[in-house]
Amino acid sequence: MSMVEIKEFDLQNVSIHYKWNNDRELNYYDSDYPHQYESFEAFLKRIKSVLDERNETNELFEIHLTENNKLIGIVDIHAIDQYNKRCFVNCTIGDRKYAGMGYDVEALKIVLSHCFNEKGMHKVGTAAFDFNTTWIESVEKLGFQQEGQLREHVIKNDEYCDKLFFGLLENDFHFNEVEAVVAE
């Protein structure tokens, strides 16, 4: 049994997601650009737009602890390309007291199984800044291989950093026994 459950994005939790969205430290690891404060109204409008486009080019999910249903993070599938059978994933453990405990890997196992077994993807990609060793180690545990590097691609703390791209092919995913339950 998994430590986490992946559930549909619930607008009733939007205030928690809004807090994470405006967290400078979380954004430091996720965004190519410096953190920009976003009003609640603008965030809600953007999230509703993303949810309206769901299943065509992206899917947005919440990560909940199995033991108590606590919302601890978010995972998304984006740039879904049905023709070439590929997409990208990203995962953020927004509640920092649960970071570094393997919940991201557990969530990714479920989402990857969903991508390969239910959505019929051939390849799933992800990206990371070169200093984000925790995420890099997490995706490498799951079989992702580095496929590219954009040298000195972004500025973080007044220094240029590389952006790394990773890919995982369907045949290299060895967690197919994971039940890809995306609860509603």
Q: What is the pLDDT of residues 124-176, one digit of tens each?
A: 999 999 999 999 999 998 999 999 999 999 999 999 999 999 999 999 998 65
Pair 59, 111: CB distance under 8 Å: no
**35 in Cβ contact with 68 (< 8 Å):** no
Is the pLDDT score of 181 beyond 70?
no
At the fourth CATH level, which superfamily is domain 4-183? Gcn5-related N-acetyltransferase (GNAT) (3.40.630.30)
Q: With contact defined as beta carbons under 8 Å apart, do 91 and 75 qualify?
A: yes
128 vs 36, which has greater pLDDT?
Answer: 128
Q: What is the pLDDT of residue 176?
A: 52
Helices marked H in the chain — which ranges? 14-21, 24-30, 40-52, 103-113, 133-141
> Domain limits of the chain?
4-183
Task: Look up residue 149 and give its two tokens.
Answer: 């590097």
CB atoms within 10 A of CB 78: 15
pLDDT of residue 5: 96
Quick: pLDDT tens for 56-104: 789 999 999 999 999 999 999 999 999 999 999 999 999 999 998 999 9
Do residues 71 and 63 touch, judged by C-beta distance below 8 A?
A: yes
Query: By the 8 A CB rule, do 27 and 94 touch?
Result: no
Can you spell out the DSSP letters for 43-77? Answer: HHHHHHHHHHTBTTTBEEEEEEETTT--EEEEEEE
- Tell me how far apart the alpha carbons of residues 96 and 129 are, in angstroms, rounded to a whole number: 19
Q: Please give the order of strands across the beta sheet that includes 182-183.
A: 145-156, 159-169, 123-129, 86-93, 71-81, 59-65, 4-8, 182-183
Checking if the pLDDT of 120 tops 60, the result is yes
